Structure formats: structure tokens, C-alpha cells
Amino acid sequence: MNSYKGREYGFDQPTLLESAIFNVHVKITIGLTIVFICTLNVQAENGHNLWLRAKSSASVIVVCSMKSATTDIAVQELKQCWHGKKDATIVLTVKHNPSIKGDGFEFGPDGIQANTDLGVLYGVYELLRRQQSAEPIEKEISNPSYERRILNHWDNLDGTIERGYAGHSIFWRKGNDAWRVTEKDKRLWQEYARANASLGINGAVLNNVNASPDMLNTETLNRVKAIADVLRPYGIRAYLSVKFSSPGLIGGLKTSDPVDPEVTQWWKTKVEEIAKLIPDFGGFLVKANSEGQPGPQDFGRTHAVGANMLADLLKPYGGIVMWRAFVYKTSGEDRAKQAYDEFMPLDGQFRDNVIIQAKNGPIDFQPREPFSPLFGALETTSVMPELQITQEYLGQSTHLVFLAPMWVEFLQSDTYQKGEGSTVARCTDGSNFPQRFTAIAGVANIGLDSNWCGHQFAQANWYAFGRLAWNNRLTSDRIADEWIRLTFPRHQSDQSKTRNVSDWQERFLLPVKHMMLQSHEAAVNYMMPLGLHHIFAGDHHYGPGPWYAPTGLRADWTPPYYHQADTNGIGFDRTRTGSNAVRQYREPLCSQFNELETCPEIYLLWFHHLPWNHKMKNGRVLWDELCYRYDAGVRQVREFQKLWNQIQPYVDEQRFTEVRSKLRRQCRAAQIWKDGCELYFQQFSRRPIPADLEQPVYDLKSLEELDFSTIDEFEN
Ligand code: GCV
């Protein structure tokens, strides 16, 4: 008897043994199917697909005038993600058009034209983004604001990431297979490259600015080559952070003095070695004479001498040097003034392939800072902004904080370099004065976590950086809108399928966008309102610590240095009669910041030390206003919690639950920030917390005893 045939037609009864085997078989199949479906689900919903979720819903005919690895990707993307008219024809043309700059493109409903194949790829991503986010597609030219749009990874060779909150490095690891390049590595690097290219990011510094000299060892460089090979078709150049003392540390030389011929020769040989491995190598990023890192000043040379030595060697290969302006010493001088004082006398002394990389604010990526006065001051030296995507000072990967509003505030700040309207954007993108190279950098928030960034909403910050690097005039609203539409597409949530577009917009898109757009101000409110800054506990920069001042720690690493609270008042006096940091800004800003009547209240305690009973514009006294701001911050996060609960039907389970749980933790953290700061400052103000506000739930002593590297520590 052929039992298979019998079972197939249902004629014969199977034997007991056959039944048992069949049952086991069925169970295994069902089990495997469930595992498979679960895996699919996990993959579909863990956030790994970022804003690149669209799968083609129609076919498209693509005609392309050029063949390269990059145009192959462009064609493939169109075919895989096309959401336009069925069987439409799209023409991709690489042809020079003088109105198109760099890797810009002209795009329209019928096709894309660009000067380079990379421009074509960017045009394809723009077209697809517009299709997916239901934006109009009309003939238009899009040119990048900055020529170099670069992620800075603070990744160490052992795989850890300085200020990384999303797992270990995607580039480096320690252990036996540290140098082996696996297929899995390459797949991940390719996904990373695709995500960046979809935004127009075209460079990646692969290692920490606190660089290990081993970065320049041959085995490390071979891995850099492997990474660069994967990134190249997507238009992403590899850059490296280098340690200035490398010639002494790994080259066996007696010195690393930049004018020593042996030192120059050592760097020359290194650059040649790199250029051979990576012909499109982007260049070096250097943190010199900053926070203990070595630099040219160790040998009595200036930043310019050190930077120019490297720049001359990189020039034949088209490489650049990004020389950081993040410098400060325990000199007794206001830390906020030091970068300007150190770099302004060197204006004009740098080669044209050196760019001074300055953080957005004069101190250090604080929740809110006025722009660094170096922007709008340097005139004959190229300058580029450094933004921090990783949320070192903004709740790390626990708090939902959308950073676009902060960056837009910075980019749109008026420096008055050439009269009114000289925004930071214009001072850095070549509009105000010509720069041989223009660039912008963002410190990456990417790690091995399945969702890349630790928090589902932290992906929006990677997205926002890329979009602003391409177009520094975009609004936060537009960026948030795009990101939500692409990351939580309406059709992806089963439960929302039955709902119509306007319902989805009203009940999902608008509330989520509202939450994102408010989130930065909320964090400023519950952490450091009214211009307060750097009042974190310890070096982890997560929880509050206005009291934190361990004996022996240098003053400018302790919060009392920054808030200056005493019974007379609070705030850092940077006016003309204080540290005079205001003089580093051009008029009329200098006077505006200096005078109490005109100083924007968001920067009040940044520039002024004021009595607790100082009258604010709304009539409240300063102390009360401080309490109201702290209170407002906590209430805002509670509102986010409610809002997120209401959108549950529109989001997949996994991402909904993850974000909900992070919002809970953010709420607790906000409460601790509020209570800790109010109770601590109250010791000096000696005033009651306004009676109509919620009173603290924690007591100061217990908060002071903890170090708050995570708020969880407090709860355990
Ligand atoms: C990479 C801050 C951070 C450091 C960082 C430094 C910098 O001080 O806390 O982790 O070091 O900035 O930007 O160089």
C-alpha cells in the first residue's frame, strides 16, 4: 500500500506509527512556521528598517544613461520601492547642468538628472520619499547645503562607544575575530550605508575623536578598507580620527613635533598607505590639545601648524582635515570663551583643506546653548558645525527628545557677520564667505541594537541630521512629518487599515508630531531651564547633580561652576562686567545678550547672575519662574505618556510597548530632575515652591547620595 497516496486521497487509514510520525511532522512544521512568522514580525517591527520600509506596490520601467555600482543601486531602489503610477517610465540621466551643484539633482515625475551618478541616487531617494510621504512631485532642483555631510562615530577599537547608548560598535569588536570581515558585517555596513545615502550623508569618521594610535596600524587599516569598499557605492567616504602623538606612540619616533622632518615623513608614509588602500579616503578628524589629548601645543606649535602639516599631506588625494575647536583648560578663564580666544588669532593661517569643526554651543552639547561665537567670527578660515546626535546630555536612549528644533534654532541664529540675516547656516555653507570646502558633522547615535539607536524615536535624530545636512533651511515640522510617515506608515498597522487618511492624520500623525516638536523644550524645562547648563551628576551626564562637586575635581567639571547659585542669586555672569563672554558676539547681539531687558529669557542665566527676586517679563519672580518651568517639564512628559497611549491602535505592538516603557522611565527621570533641582536651589533662594505647583515627592538628601548614571539606580 502506498500510504502517501492513500493519505493524499483520504482512502486508507494510516497506521499508528504513521500517525505519530505525521503528528510530529505537523507540529514541527507549525512550530517552524510560527518561529518564522515571529521572526518576520520581529524583523518587521523592531525598528531595524528605519524609515526605509516601503516595498514596491507597482512596477516601473527604468531607463538609465550610465552604468556604475551606484546607478545599479538607484535602479534597484526604484524597482523595489516604487509607489507611483503602474508601469511608468523613469529616466535617470548623468549629464552636466550648471544649475546643479555637487551631488545635487533635478527631479520630476518623469526622471532624474544629475552631474554625478551619486546625484542620481540621491534623486531616486528623494522621489521615493515623496511618493511614500504623499508630497507633490514637480520639476525641481535640489542642491546640498554642505559639500561634506559626515557622521562622527565615537567608536573605540574594542567595540565600545564613547557616549553610545545603542549597544556596541557596528565597525569594531574585540576578541579572536576582531579583524575578520564576515558576511554579516558587510550586510550591516551595507544597510548602514543605504540608510545614510537615503538622507544624503556622504561621509563617516569610523572611530572616536579620543583616538587610539592603533587606528593607524596596518591590520586596522585593512578593516577600514573593507568598510570603505562597502560604503563606496553608496557615496560614503571613510574618514579617520587620528591621535596627534601617533608618530611617537606607534612609529617609534622620539617626538611627534609637526615640524620635525622625520615626523612629517612618518605621516606622509601613513597617508600614502591609506590612500593606496582607500583611494577616495576623506581625511582626518583631530581632537588636539583638548581634554588631555596630545596636540601641536605640546611642542610649542600652534593649531594651525599642526593642522597644516596633515592638510598638505592629504591634499594630493583630495583629503581634508577637520580640526576640532573643542578646547578649554583650567586657566581660570570662563570656559565658554576659550575656543574663541584660542582660534580667532589664527584666522587666515589654515590651509584651504582644513576646516575648523566647532560644536554648536560654546560649552558642550548642552540641552540649550547660544551658538558658539566662532560661527560668524572666523572669516578667512573654513568652519563647520558639529552637532551631537547621540543624546549624551539629553536623556541618552531613554528620553524621547527630537533634536531638530534645537538644531534649527542653532542654524537659524543670526550671527550678524555681514549684517542682519547672517545665520549660522549662511556662515557655514559658503553663502556668507567662500570656503573651499563646506561641511557639517553629527556625532552618531548608532550601535548594534536591533533598532540601531536604542530608542525608536532616536532614529528621528539620525534622520533629522541627514536632512538638515542636505538642506539647512528645512523646518523641524517638515522633518518630523516626513519621518513619521516613513517610519510608521499608515498601511503597516493592521488595526488602522480600516481607518481613513484623515482619521490617521488627526489621531496619529498630528499628535505624534506635536509630541516630537515639544520634546526638546520639555527636556530643557525639566533639566535646565532659563539658560542653566551643565548641572549633571558625575561624568555620565544623565541625572541631575547641581550639588555635584567632589573634593579635588577641577572646578569646570562641577555644576556649581556653571550655575553659581548662592543666597544672592543664580546664573553665570558673562556680561561686560562679568566674564565678558558677550564681547565675542557681534553687535547688536553683544549688547542684546549683555542687557537684561533684551537678553532672551531662554539664555537668561547663561549670561546673567540674577537675584532670586528678579522680575521676569511675565511678572513672576525668578525663583517662581524656575519652579514653574521645572513643573511644566514634568507635566509635558506626562502629556506625552497619555498621548502615546491614545495612539496605540495605530502602531505595532512591539514599538508601542517599547516607547511606552521608555516614556515611563522618562517621566520618573523628569520628576527626579525637578525635585532635585528645586530642593537644591531652594537652600539658596529660601523661598517656598509656589503653592499651586506640585510639591516634590523625593527628598534632597536621598537624591544627593546617588550618582544617577541611570535613574533606575535610584529606583533599585
Ligand atoms: C569624545 C564631552 C564628552 C566626551 C567627548 C568630548 C569631545 O566632554 O563628555 O565624551 O569625548 O566631549 O567632544 O571631545
364 lines ligand 1 (CB under 6 A): yes
Sign of CA dihedral 212, 215, 220, 224: positive
CA of 689 to the centre of ligand 1 (A): 35
For residue 290, the ligand 1 atom closest to its alpha carbon is 14
Distance CA 624, CA 693 (A): 10
CA of 539 to the centre of ligand 1 (A): 10
Q: Which residues contact 644 (CB under 8 A, 6 or more apart)?
A: 515, 656, 659, 660, 663
- Strands across the sheet containing 88-94: 60-64, 88-94, 111-114, 105-108, 140-142
For residue 293, the ligand 1 atom closest to its alpha carbon is 14
Shortest-distance Cα residue to atom 11 of ligand 1: 210
For a mutational test of ligand 1's pocket, the pick from 241, 364, 562, i.e. the residue with the most ligand atoms closer than 8 A to its C-beta, is 364
CA of 56 to the centre of ligand 1 (A): 43
335 lines ligand 1 (CB under 6 A): no
229 lines ligand 1 (CB under 6 A): no
Query: CA separation (Å) from 556 to 89, 328, 334, 393, 535?
Result: 62, 9, 9, 16, 11
Distance CA 603, CA 533 (A): 10
Question: How much is the pLDDT for 714?
Answer: 63
327 lines ligand 1 (CB under 6 A): no
| Average pLDDT for the chain | 93
For residue 209, the ligand 1 atom closest to its alpha carbon is 1
Distance CA 341, CA 347 (A): 11
Distance CA 143, CA 325 (A): 28
The amino acid occupying position 528 is M
Question: How much is the pLDDT for 44?
Answer: 53
Instruction: Select from 502, 503, 565 the least CA-distant residue to 532.
Output: 565
For residue 154, the ligand 1 atom closest to its alpha carbon is 1
CA of 445 to the centre of ligand 1 (A): 14
Give the position of cell 562686567: 577
Instruction: Select from 203, 201, 242 the least CA-distant residue to 221.
Output: 242
Distance CA 707, CA 684 (A): 22
Query: CA separation (Å) from 175 to 159, 164, 167, 179, 676?
Result: 10, 20, 16, 9, 42
For a mutational test of ligand 1's pocket, the pick from 205, 326, 357, 386, i.e. the residue with the most ligand atoms closer than 8 A to its C-beta, is 326
Q: Specify which residues 320 forms β-bridges with.
A: 283
Which grid cell is 193? 550605508
Angle between helices 404-411 and 510-527 (to 10 degrees): 70
Q: Specify which residues 354 forms β-bridges with.
A: 321
Shortest-distance Cα residue to atom 12 of ligand 1: 364
For residue 210, the ligand 1 atom closest to its alpha carbon is 1
Shortest-distance Cα residue to atom 13 of ligand 1: 326
Question: How much is the pLDDT for 614?
Answer: 98
The bridge status of strand 105-108 relative to strand 111-114 is antiparallel
CA of 506 to the centre of ligand 1 (A): 41
Backbone angles phi and psi of 183, in degrees to 5: -65, -35
Distance CA 478, CA 483 (A): 9
Question: How much is the pLDDT for 709?
Answer: 78
Question: How much is the pLDDT for 490?
Answer: 86
CA of 543 to the centre of ligand 1 (A): 17
Instruction: Select from 230, 231, 198, 236 the least CA-distant residue to 122.
Output: 198
Question: How much is the pLDDT for 38?
Answer: 39
Distance CA 483, CA 465 (A): 12
Eight-class DSSP state of 413: -
For residue 359, the ligand 1 atom closest to its alpha carbon is 13
Distance CA 182, CA 587 (A): 56
CA of 329 to the centre of ligand 1 (A): 14
Shortest-distance Cα residue to atom 2 of ligand 1: 364
Q: Under a CB-based contact definition with an 8 Å cutoff, are residues 313 and 352 in contact?
A: no
Distance CA 91, CA 18 (A): 60
Distance CA 97, CA 106 (A): 9
Q: Which residues contact 207 (CB under 8 A, 6 or more apart)?
A: 153, 154, 155, 156, 157, 171, 172, 215, 240, 241
What Rg do the C-alpha atoms of the chain give, in angstroms? 28
Helix (H) or strand (E) holding 631: helix 622-646
CA of 534 to the centre of ligand 1 (A): 13
Question: How much is the pLDDT for 5?
Answer: 29
Question: How much is the pLDDT for 54?
Answer: 84
Q: Which residues contact 516 (CB under 8 A, 6 or more apart)?
A: 400, 402, 457, 460, 480, 484
154 lines ligand 1 (CB under 6 A): yes
Distance CA 343, CA 289 (A): 12
Which residues in the chain show pLDDT less than 70?
A: 1-44, 492-499, 712-716
Question: How much is the pLDDT for 498?
Answer: 60
326 lines ligand 1 (CB under 6 A): yes
Shortest-distance Cα residue to atom 8 of ligand 1: 364
Which grid cell is 244? 596627534
Q: Specify which residues 356 forms β-bridges with.
A: 323, 383
Catalytic residue set: 291, 364, 392
Eight-class DSSP state of 339: H
- Give burial (CB, 10 Å; 0-12/13-18/19+) of 69: exposed
